[in-house]
Amino acid sequence: MTVPMERVEHRILTIRGHRVILDADLAELYGVKTFHLNEAVKRNRSRFPEDFMFQMTAEEFTALKSQFAISKPGRGGRRINPYVFTEEGVAMLSSVLHSERAVQVNIAIMRAFVRLRELAASHKDVHQRLDEMEQKYDAHFKVVFDAIRALMEPPKIPCRRIGY
């Protein structure tokens, strides 16, 4: 069983400057309930330091709910702020979840994180090349604009005096 890359990529969010996946999204990909995923993590808490997994603040969760359709707590939805897992946290989940599906999902997630890193690196290269081109051509365009301004100025021909 393989998991399509697109199914994973759109679930990766950036929170606190880290690329992460919500516990509910991971649970769905693994085919388990969010509660069971979080329970497995709690039983092995020492494997998940703060840079592997953290709980979102109320403000972060509110901002997330405003961007996506997440149910309200009074209607059977989440009662606590979600946990999010970094790439390292997802890798550590493979040592906690022991199903074949978990292995396949982890492989797909790792590939998605790698692909995002590659895209970010190529994006940075494009920005750098554009900056270099802008600096290079700014000098050329300055010459052109100076020439246009010079042509726009009226010629300085000495005026002939009329009369005595």
Instruction: Give the burial string for 8-41 (b: 16+ CB within 10 Å, else e).
Output: bbebbbebeeebbbbbbbbbbbbebebeebbeeb
Q: Tell me the average pLDDT of the chain.
A: 79
pLDDT, one tens digit per residue, over 9-66 is 788 888 998 989 999 999 988 888 999 999 999 999 999 999 999 999 999 988 888 7
Q: Which of 56-60, 68-72, 118-122, 130-134 has the lowest mean pLDDT?
A: 68-72
Q: What is the pTM of this model?
A: 0.63
* Domain boundary assignment for the chain: 5-119
Q: Does domain 5-119 have CATH number 3.10.260?
A: yes
Q: Which residue has the higher pLDDT, 71 or 88?
A: 88
Q: How far apart are CA 84 and CA 79, in angstroms?
A: 15
Say what the pLDDT of residue 84 is: 94
Q: Nearest Cα to 27, choosing from 76, 99, 112, 118? A: 99
Q: How far apart are CA 162 and CA 143, in angstroms?
A: 39
Do residues 55 and 83 make contact, with C-beta atoms less than 8 angstroms apart?
A: yes
Say what the pLDDT of residue 147 is: 74
Give the range with max mean pLDDT: 63-72, 105-114, 153-162.
105-114
Instruction: Using a pLDDT cut of 90, give the percent of the chain over it.
Output: 23
Say what the pLDDT of residue 1 is: 56
